[in-house]
Amino acid sequence: MRATRTRLLWTCLLLLLALLHEARSQDLTCMVSLSNVNWTQTFSDTCLNFSGLGLSLPRTQSLKASHVQVLDLSRNGLQALPGTFFANLEKLHTLIVTHNQLASVDQSLALRCDLELRADCGCGLASWYDIRQNNCSGEQELLCLHPVTGAQRNLSTFLQVSCPPSLAPGTIGALVAGTIFLALVVGGAVLAWRLRRHQGASGQVLSKAQSSHDAPRLVTGFLPRHSSQRQSPKAPDTPPDRSPSADTDFYMNYKGDDLDPQPVYCNLESLGRAPGY
């Protein structure tokens, strides 16, 4: 008798679980909507299925479906989930976005701790995971689906293995600013070095030019053959030697520009010197 009651109790429990699973499956497999979806229209359904329609989500317009609880956006080639599109879906508890290569999920969706996100495993879920971990305490572990097998995987483990931590925007900005500053410093140093080198070369050229201008010029030529310059009236201390001659003329040899000896005639009386011997 007791065994019969136990068996009956287990049977009722299994039936109840089957009914719950069937009801949940029906909610998640609602009919696919038409391809010509108009985002301006109002939907009164509790389950909307837009799978495989190649849709793009508007970023500045909200979906008008205040009663929807399950929304299927799988297989649409989505890369982002804009927060404005889901702003008025207050009753939404299951969002299916599998078979979409998501690059980002809006922060407002991550802050909805009661929202179940069914998505393929990808690095685009990293920010969504961090926000959920920091703001939704006591929640169950977050899962993602393998894009090929559809098996569930632990999202935290996947991110640690497949998605190395990226640099924060502030860190990236600091690195870029530091690189630019370093390039400016190096460029300024090179420019200053070239300027000093150019100034040094210009100074050397100017110094050589001044030296050549100030240096005394060597006289390589000889005096003109006939000189008209008058001698100083002061008599020399020692009378010059002269050859005895009957007249007052004086002869000397002179080398001209052609370096050939040439006679030079000079009249001593014209210079105001009368021979005293």
What does the DSSP assignment read for 190-226? HHHHHHHHHHHHHHHHHHHHHHHHHSPPP--S---SS
Contact 30, 49 (CB under 8 A): yes
Q: Say what the pLDDT of residue 188 is.
A: 82
Q: What angle do CA 173, 168, 83 make, to 5 degrees?
A: 110
Q: The whole model's pTM is what? A: 0.52
Q: What is the share, in percent, of the chain residues with pLDDT greater than 90?
A: 38
Q: Which residue has better confidence, 204 or 119? A: 119
Q: Which residue has better confidence, 204 or 248? A: 204
In this structure, what is the dihedral angle of CA atoms 129, 131, 132, 135, given to the nearest 10 degrees? Answer: 160
pLDDT digits (tens, 9 = 90+) for 153-189: 999 999 999 987 755 455 567 677 778 888 888 888 8
Q: Which residue has better confidence, 222 or 3? A: 3
List the chain domain ranges: 21-162
pLDDT digits (tens, 9 = 90+) for 53-102: 999 999 999 999 999 999 999 999 999 999 999 999 999 999 999 999 99
- The CATH number for 21-162, chosen from 2.30.29, 3.80.10, 3.90.75, 1.10.3470, is 3.80.10
